[in-house]
Amino acid sequence: MEYDNIFILRYMGNKNKLLNFIVPAIEEVTKEGDTICDPMAGTHCIGYALKKRNRIIGNDIQEYSYVIGQALIENNRETISREEAESELLNAYLENQQKQIFSFFYDNYADTYFAGKQCLAIDSIRYAVERIRNKYRKALYLCCLMHAMCKVQSTPGHFAQFMPKEHRRILPLREMDVWQEFLNKCDDFKTVVNNGLKNEVFKVDYKELLINFEGEIACYYVDPPYSGEQYSRFYHILETVVKYDRPRLQYKGLYRADRFKSGFCYKKLAEGEFEFIMKEISKKGAALVISYSDKGILPVQKLKQLGRKYFRRIELRRNSYAHSTLGKGKNDINEILLILK
């Protein structure tokens, strides 16, 4: 089955390539028109794949994910194109190239994750996008900017570290033109799925969403981190480009100092996080579909045990695939789905 899918980021744990494994499981426990909630949505590819069929509530603690959610999930009417980008943004882009009114990237990241001229182009696109009034258009353009940044980055595939100057792959990456990569992406958003429903996106800790969201949800799709790597460290640059809040930076990787630490990334806390989720969702009488890995911090057996405590029906599905470890080679990992009702 071909599900709706607009690729935006190469993202750790992204389910873009697993839509055919995951989406049918969510469809099996819901009806058309039901509300589905994705409380740790990352790139929102699962919500987007289901959007034609369902009302979607998306959430993630990271602001860049919120922006993707605004563009793909909440947005039912705005579209952009390369042509529109040129006419709406080029003047402001050139103004900033000359006057450097926005220069945080140039001042802080030149010759680290990007070349100096790439940093200035990022600042200039961000300056031009800041002038767009409509929040969904702005979000669509920010998605294209994030995509361009991920394409030209001189890193192993995430922003926890940058390549040393002598790395053999660095020269062609540093030559790439951020403005052209940005424009090249815009036509991907010439159409965006419109389901005519009030989809909503939030940027809170999932616990807050589970406790405070009012309204009936038929199924929660939960896809938490499964390793010790914090998303806030791997993608700090994306957080900063969307917020453009000129944060205090620290360590060699120039990370934002205010990084969120997820409990799922700690051996001591992961079980408690899962137990909270299962308890709250079973109380609501909703179905729960969990994505996890058999190499995760919490053993699959433990997850099943917890599932049996809170739900009557429980099913485990496995899907083997070569999982990209972002620069550390390929690992065979079993992606698992736990379906609870």
Residues in contact with ligand SAM by CB under 6 A are 11, 13-15, 40-43, 45-46, 60-62, 65, 205-206, 223-225, 231, 262, 264
User: Which residue's CB is nearer to ligand SAM, number 179 or number 231?
Assistant: 231
Query: What minimum distance in Å lies between the beta carbon of 226 and ligand SAM?
Result: 7
Query: What minimum distance in Å lies between the beta carbon of 279 and ligand SAM?
Result: 16
Query: What minimum distance in Å lies between the beta carbon of 257 and ligand SAM?
Result: 18
| Pairing mode of beta strands 55-59, 287-293 | unpaired
User: Which residue's CB is nearer to ligand SAM, number 177 or number 229?
Assistant: 229
User: Which residue's CB is nearer to ligand SAM, number 26 or number 178?
Assistant: 26
The span from the CA of 139 to the CA of 263, in Å, is 28
The span from the CA of 142 to the CA of 162, in Å, is 22
Residue 90's closest CA among 120, 118, 127? 127
User: Which residue's CB is nearer to ligand SAM, number 182 or number 235?
Assistant: 235
Q: What is the DSSP letter of 227?
A: S
Query: What minimum distance in Å lies between the beta carbon of 10 and ligand SAM?
Result: 10
Residue 218's closest CA among 305, 291, 284? 284
User: Which residue's CB is nearer to ligand SAM, number 93 or number 234?
Assistant: 234
Query: What minimum distance in Å lies between the beta carbon of 174 and ligand SAM?
Result: 28
For 1, residues 6+ apart whose C-beta sits below 8 A from its C-beta are 20, 23, 24
User: Which residue's CB is nearer to ligand SAM, number 72 or number 80?
Assistant: 72
Distance in Å from the first CA to the final CA of the chain: 25
Q: What is the DSSP letter of 110?
A: B
Question: In the block, which residue shows the tokens 């030209």?
Answer: 152
Query: What minimum distance in Å lies between the beta carbon of 294 and ligand SAM?
Result: 15
